[in-house]
Amino acid sequence: MSDKLQKVLANAGTGSRREMERWIEAGRISVNGKLATLGDRVEPADKIRVDGNALNKSNDTPACRVLMYNKPEGELCSRKDPEGRATVFDRLPVIKNGRWIAVGRLDINTSGLLLFTNDGELANRLMHPSHEVEREYAVRVFGEVEDKMLKRLTKGVQLEDGEAKFTNIVKRPGDEESTNTWFNVSLSEGRNREVRRLWESQGVQVSRLMRVRYGTLELQKRLPQGGWVELGLPDLNTLRESVQLPAETETLIKIDPGKLDHVKISRMRRSVKKHRVRQANNKRD
């Protein structure tokens, strides 16, 4: 009946498995009064504490929820920043059971689709390389791009942390004489700054980068930057089934979240603007 400690923590909504592994290594987790170590397994009766606080292991598993967020450039993928910079968690809705877990990361200069969930197992599977969940990015590169370069990028190039490649590259229509060229690229893993490093390995620089798809989900075109929508059961279950998880049967959504009308969009934009003004005032203070 024992389970890996990081799995139990993730299932309780504390964070993703990877994040929990880092917490264990940092000495933030104890089991039955003893400091936990990576590789520990726990029984249902074991007493787990996180930062000294007892872990709530309620048998009432909350309904799986997923948010789609349109990340602006300039926001950090961390819960708090010592320098007071904006983070992707600042404007997320309050959650009663567990907490929001970011599915992967986008660096501070990358915008676009970022998913959040309260389900640690779903987050882990979506991020784990074994499930090969494809990510797609719109990228603008500065420099001359030749066909042989694109072939190398899809065949595989050696980076400092191993071989990497794009699964697909599509050039977008544009000014043929411009030194900036837009491409849509896809890959099936999420190493740190992988898209940028792949292009830089060929001597060109990335000047804009935006994630437009994660697995089966495409970024809603009308979703303002800094805005979020919660997925309804059809999209949620398509995502769960893509990583071999059973379908969810409950939802907290009372209306179709997929329809972004002018009223919703205007409300989101006003909310984002107010938040940015408050942040700017706090920095001045």
The residues assigned a catalytic role are: 107
DSSP-assigned beta bridge partners for residue 229: 68
Return the structure tokens found at 240. 């769960």
Please write down the HEC assignment for all residues of the chain: CCEEHHHHHHHCCCCCHHHHHHHHHCCCEEECCEECCCCCEECCCCCEEECCEECCCCCCCCCCCEEEEEECCCCECCCCCCCCCCECCCCCCCCCCCCCEEECCCCCCCEEEEEEECCHHHHHHHHCHHHCCCEEEEEEEECCCCHHHHHHHHHCEEECCEEECCCEEEECCCCCCCCEEEEEEEECCCCCCHHHHHHHCCCCEEEEEEEEEECCEECCCCCCCCCEEECCHHHHHHHHHHCCCCCCCCCCCCCCCCCCCHHHHHHHHHHHHHHHHHHHHHHHC
**CA–CA gap between residue 179 and residue 200 (Å, rounded):** 15
Backbone angles phi, psi at 123, to 5 degrees: -60, -45
